[in-house]
Amino acid sequence: MQFLPDGNFLIPDNVIAIPKKSVTISKSSSTFESFSSVKSTESESISTSAGGGAFGFSASASFSMDMQQAKSHMSKSTQTMVQKKIEYYAFDMIATNKEGFDETFTDRLKEIANAIKSNNPVFAALP
Domain match, 66 and 107 both: no
pTM (predicted TM-score): 0.33
Q: Are residues 37 and 78 in the same domain?
A: yes
75: confidence class by pLDDT, cuts 50, 70, 90: low
CB of 124 closer than 8 Å to CB of 116 = yes
pLDDT at 43 (0 to 100): 46
Q: Are residues 61 and 97 in the same domain?
A: no
Residue 52 sits in the same domain as residue 75: yes
Domain count along the chain: 2
As a whole number of angstroms, the distance between CA 102 and CA 1 comes to: 7
Element (H, E) at 30: strand 28-32
In this prediction, residues 79-108 reach a mean pLDDT of 69
Rounded Cα distance between 115 and 103, Å, is: 18
The whole domain housing 97 covers 1-24+88-127
